[in-house]
Amino acid sequence: MSGVEETMAEAGRVDWSHFSLADFLELRWRLLHDWQAVLPGGEYFGQARIGDVCYDIQIEWLADDELAVTMSPFFPHDEASDELPYDELVPGMPYDTQHGASLISSRRSFLQLTYESFIDLAERSILETVARFPRLRSAASKQTGFWDRHDAILCKIREQDDEDM
């Protein structure tokens, strides 16, 4: 069994419910018609999940002034790890990322894809990448609901901030 097959057996399939056809079409429209106005820090369009690994899908300007669709993995911080957590947007829920595990498509190559071909290519790439990194593989094999709880708390924080304004 290959690393990809083992990862799929351990963690199941990639969940695309947070990046629908409508999200894909919005991203595609932006890349076709308004790409020069993309914010310097990038813009978020959705995510793909496998176990407790969450790949954020966004468009951003890379260092060489190339606009690309990037997919970067995030996963719950392992408290036993010697490494400090990457960030903590939600109190008490720190998370990590894995250097070298992001997936990048140029604007031009992304625009050649249909939703189905993007999903197929991205899913294969995600599984191959997860299989290469032990921390990602470990997080992908767990399904603790971390990101659903994280998102619910973050949503409440943002609603409270809006009410306070």
Decide if 54 contacts 75 (C-beta within 8 A): yes
According to DSSP, the β-strands at 43-50 and 67-76 are unpaired
Q: Provide the number of structural domains found in the chain.
A: 1
For the segment 38-91, what is each residue's pLDDT rounded down to a tens digit? Answer: 999 999 999 999 999 999 999 999 988 899 999 999 999 988 888 889 878 888
Whole-number mean pLDDT of the chain? Answer: 91
CA distance 39 to 146: 28
pLDDT score, position 95: 93
Higher pLDDT, 129 or 3: 129
The whole domain housing 138 covers 3-164
Residue with tokens 């829920």: 93
Q: Which two tokens stand for residue 53?
A: 């690994």
Q: What is the pTM of this model?
A: 0.88
Residue with tokens 């894995």: 98
